[in-house]
Amino acid sequence: MKIPNAAQAIIHPDKLRGYLLDADHKRGKSKAALLLSFGYAPGNWQQLENDLRQYHLTAEVTAVRETLYGLRYEIQAILITPNGRPLQVRTVWQIDKGTEYPRFITLFPD
């Protein structure tokens, strides 16, 4: 199965710029180091957004679980990164209760 309403998925720019691509972020710096080494950059955060939409929101869901806040979906798939190297990552998305569209939660190496 694919994530419902994937075409309308919400990916907040601050989640990408200020967390996943921020080498100084307290909790995100290890993820940033990995993504930066594969050619992603804070100044071009849109590339990561586009790649998540292209490679993950079109992939099959690998796990679904219900939380207090809504349905949470995980996807394990490869990103073809800006430097052309594949990177296997897991992304987490959630459709909050009372909403219809998935929201990007996080990414981590798989």
Q: Would you say 51 and 80 are in contact if contact means Cβ atoms under 8 Å apart?
A: yes
Q: What is the pTM of this model?
A: 0.95
> Cα 37 to the chain's mean position, in Å?
17
- Domain positions in the chain are 6-109
Per-residue pLDDT in tens (0 to 9) along the chain, 110 residues = 999 999 999 999 999 999 999 999 999 999 999 999 999 999 999 999 999 999 999 999 999 999 999 999 999 999 999 999 999 999 999 999 999 999 999 999 98
> What per-residue string of b and e applies to 87-105 under the rule 16 or more CB within 10 Å gives b?
bebbbbbbbeeeeeebbbe
What is the number of helices (H) and of strands (E) in the chain? 3, 4
